[in-house]
Amino acid sequence: MNKTQIRKRAMAFLLIFVGILVVGFTAVQIFAWKSQQSIESYPYTVEKSFGDFEIRAYEASLFTSVKLGSNEYKKASSQGFSILAGYIFGANEKQEKIAMTSPVAMSLEDSMTMMFMVPKKFNKSNLPKPNQSDIEFKEMPAKRVAAITFGGWSDDEKIALHKEQLTKALDEAGIGYSTRFYYLGYNPPYEVFGRKNEVIVELD
């Protein structure tokens, strides 16, 4: 086999390898998109839309939650997701799997709290007891919030920027708000396209 034949064969293998990667990547993205369509979500109605944000009314809902000893998004999100995902994937007294919901919520305070909404078929009486004692069940009452949306992957700087943009827009609109801010993340880490994130704040 001469050098030209070797180069052609190497190029063919490379093209096949790249093709496999592209097909695999596309399949993962399609799976992620389809999975998102079937996930139960935190129910709300839009009361009014503004240029940069919207006012929403959320229904009362039950959440699993864990308080974390950090206000750094990357550290807290990784730690919190590991704990809560472990619980819904079977780390509980019944070894029962609980469906994932959307979005994942994180309180924006000195010690962040991560929360997964509990599917509507569950309540406090029939939820299995967590194996980890730091997981709590939290009933969130119905509330009105202002929400601002942004894309891509989140980090502390992006969250802080959109929190500032939201408060500025609310101040300009003369809408009163509380100090209770949350970050909402809608996508699994392996989903690349159509990523959605939000910062919300409870209104006075």
> How much of the chain exceeds pLDDT 70, in percent?
81
Read off the CATH number of the domain in which 156 is found.
3.20.80.10
Shared domain check, 114 and 25? no
Provide the pLDDT for residue 189: 72
Measured between alpha carbons, how far apart are the two ends of the chain, in Å? 78
Q: Give backbone dihedrals phi and psi of 182, rounded to 5 degrees, phi first.
A: -140, 150
Span 140-173, pLDDT tens digits: 999 999 999 999 999 999 999 999 999 999 999 9
* Domain containing residue 154: 42-203
Shared domain check, 184 and 160? yes
Of residues 51 and 175, more confidently modeled: 175
Shared domain check, 155 and 66? yes
Shared domain check, 117 and 23? no
CA angle in degrees (0–180, nearest 5) for 163-165-171: 100
Provide the pLDDT for residue 83: 96
Span 80-117, pLDDT tens digits: 999 999 999 999 999 999 999 999 999 999 999 999 99
- pTM equals 0.82
Shared domain check, 79 and 17? no
Shared domain check, 125 and 31? no
Span 127-146, pLDDT tens digits: 999 999 999 999 999 999 99
Query: What is the spatial distance between Cα 20 and Cα 18, in angstroms, rounded to a whole number?
Result: 5
Shared domain check, 47 and 32? no
Shared domain check, 54 and 20? no
**Alpha-helix residue ranges (DSSP H) falling in 39-179:** 73-88, 156-173
Q: Are 181 and 106 in contact (CB under 8 A)?
A: no
Shared domain check, 54 and 113? yes
* pLDDT above 50 (res 29): no
What separation in angstroms does the CA of 55 have from each of 45, 51, 112, 149, 169? 9, 11, 24, 12, 12
What is the number of domains present in the chain? 2
Shared domain check, 82 and 28? no
Query: What is the spatial distance between Cα 178 and Cα 201, in angstroms, rounded to a whole number?
Result: 7
What would the mean pLDDT of 67-90 be, rounded to a whole number?
Answer: 94
